[in-house]
Amino acid sequence: MGLFITKPKNEFPETRIGTLPARPPIPAKISLENVSVRFDTRQGQPAALENVSLSIQAGEFVCLVGPSGCGKSTLLNIMAGLLAADEGQAFKDGAPITKAGPDRAVIFQEAALFPWLTAVQNVEFALKTVRNRKVRRERALEQLQMVHLSRFAHSYPHELSGGMRQRVAIARALALDPDVLLMDEPFAALDAQTRDLLIEEVQRIWLETRKTVVFVTHNVLEAVTLGDRVICMGARPGCIKQELNITLERPRAVEDPDTARFAQRILANLKDEIAKIVREESDYVEAERARGRDGDPNRVLYPNAGTMGDGI
């Protein structure tokens, strides 16, 4: 008996059976294509970033780690639109990034709060476009509640601890309801306990809001605890050396043994990078001394080169 293939009956005559027209692919939330940045310096230093390509999906938490001077802040500034690439292009939702915008909130190491405004007024500042004062106040208080600072809403920045100030800065950034949060070593100036608390807090906020986050840190444990993906950068020229997907379940804690295990893998890679920088610098000092430009063998040219903060 022959095999008959019957043509499928179209039960919905208003639709056509067959392949659906191909939908255009959803662009990444942030992407960088072959981005290079060179700063004009007297020393003629290598590129701060060379040929960096990177794609960050909506809702992803990406951490950037790497030795001092490898271009982490430069990369973040490109995404923020605070700096233009010399070559290549950065995109947000497929559109070229040409300037800063409220869709990309930046949080720096030092909380840049207005000292003459209270915590809630600082957050309200981000809500300038909300005309109704009552609504504006309610929204600002909601954001402070999100970072557990309701009790300190009417305190001035000088009355708050460093960790609390940073939480106000986070609340202010969240008040903008940005698509993307760009954080440049936001906890670097804090003591270890406060930092661990804030790591928990940022992770909880991210789980609630699912914002796209790019988080720069020196601290590998911090990166592994927070990131879906950790991107390790190398210096001179600034480039991406390695990417690691962190598959650990959430919520994670800094002290989890699994977190430490992932961190070890990243550290092993970064240590080579740091050793390379230290080697280059001692070669540079030698060369300068040989040329008779610098007679002081103890001069420290790049004091941070051999360290990566307390994460290493």
- Report how far apart, in Å, the C-alpha atoms of 284 and of each of 15, 29, 131, 197, 300 are: 71, 41, 58, 41, 11
Residue 70 binds to ligand ATP (criterion: CB under 6 A): yes
Residue closest to 102 by CA, chosen among 205, 27, 175, 208 = 175
- Report how far apart, in Å, the C-alpha atoms of 73 and of each of 2, 140, 220 are: 69, 29, 16
- CB 73, min distance to ligand ATP, A: 3
Residue 39 binds to ligand ATP (criterion: CB under 6 A): yes
Are the beta carbons of 147 and 205 closer than 8 angstroms?
A: yes
**Residue closer to Mg ion (CB basis): 73 or 259:** 73
**Residue closer to ligand ATP (CB basis): 66 or 186:** 66
Question: Scanning residues 157 to 216, which ones bind ligand ATP (CB under 6 A)?
Answer: none
Are the beta carbons of 170 and 199 closer than 8 angstroms?
A: no
CA distance 240 to 50: 9
Residue 219 binds to Mg ion (criterion: CB under 5 A): no
Quick one: what does residue 123 bind among Mg ion, ligand ATP, none, with the CB cut-off 5 to 8 Å set by partner type?
A: none
Contacts of 239 (CB under 8 A, 6+ apart): 49, 50, 51, 52, 71, 233
Options 28, 32, 35, 48; binder of ligand ATP; rule CB under 6 A: 48
- CB 80, min distance to ligand ATP, A: 12
- CB 152, min distance to ligand ATP, A: 29
* Per-residue contact flags (x/-) with ligand ATP for residues 73 to 92, judged by CB under 6 A: xx------------------
- CB 62, min distance to ligand ATP, A: 15
Give the amino acid at 73.
S
Residue 220 binds to ligand ATP (criterion: CB under 6 A): no
Residue 45 binds to ligand ATP (criterion: CB under 6 A): yes
**Residue closer to ligand ATP (CB basis): 69 or 162:** 69
φ/ψ of residue 307, rounded to 5: -125, 160
Options 19, 41, 247, 298; binder of ligand ATP; rule CB under 6 A: 41
Quick one: what does residue 45 bind among Mg ion, ligand ATP, none, with the CB cut-off 5 to 8 Å set by partner type?
A: ligand ATP
CA distance 264 to 270: 10
Kindly report whether the peptide bond that precedes residue 237 is cis, defined as omega within 30 degrees of 0: yes
- Report how far apart, in Å, the C-alpha atoms of 6 and of each of 3, 9, 59, 231, 306 are: 10, 9, 45, 53, 72
Unique residue bearing structure tokens 């800065």: 169
Residue 166 binds to Mg ion (criterion: CB under 5 A): no
* Per-residue contact flags (x/-) with ligand ATP for residues 288 to 307, judged by CB under 6 A: ----------------x---
Residue closest to 78 by CA, chosen among 116, 30, 120 = 30
- CB 269, min distance to Mg ion, A: 19
- CB 110, min distance to ligand ATP, A: 13
Quick one: what does residue 71 bind among ligand ATP, Mg ion, none, with the CB cut-off 5 to 8 Å set by partner type?
A: ligand ATP
List residues binding ligand ATP (CB under 6 A): 39, 41, 45, 48, 66, 68-74, 238, 304
List residues binding Mg ion (CB under 5 A): 73
